[in-house]
Structure 1
Amino acid sequence: MSGKGAMPAARRLESRHWFGKSCAGALLGFGLAVALSGLFAWLSPGGVEGNGGKTQFNMWLISPIWAGVLCFVFLFRDSLRAWLWLGAANLAAFGLLGAIRLVMG
């Protein structure tokens, strides 16, 4: 079907970029999980100096976030997009964490 009003074919996800996506998810996903856990520690009740249970919860919060990033990283079209989006997410999360630490610390 070609013509003036024809819709272009949707680009399908491919498995050829799996190694780059896996590396992006493992490296940048871990950084993102650490930053999000830190944000939770600073913004939740009790602050970063919470009791022992809160410290354990923050520590164990990293694993499911990291696993989630590792699962969803394969939805990117290619490895370059995974690196760029996760890199931007890391910059935003660590920037916000640094700003909150300055304000609340």
Structure 2
Amino acid sequence: MAKEKVMTFVQARSKLSEIVDRVAESGDTYVVSKRRKPRAVIIGFDRYQELSGTSKYLKNVGGKRIINLEGIATAVGDIDEAIRELRKSRIEAVLKKFS
């Protein structure tokens, strides 16, 4: 994985299209700072799926990605609980990466 690049909010805003292309094509990671503090991270969608743990629930149908919630709901018991669990796993993955 490529090293993360740090840039200011103003720089990121002016180069957003270029940044999106780079994260999608080469897997670059950008940390966006505001007032000298990290405020956001820009990553590619594939990397996001890895971190969020949702890739196992996605499948391709007719060239479109859809989420298969049936297995989640069955395992958890209800859809609200499944969504809470997915959010929790995403937060834990991100915190683990940056700790």
Tell me if TM exceeds 0.5: no
* Higher fraction of helix: 1
* Higher fraction of strand: 2
TM-score (normalised: structure 1): 0.31
TM-score (normalised: structure 2): 0.33
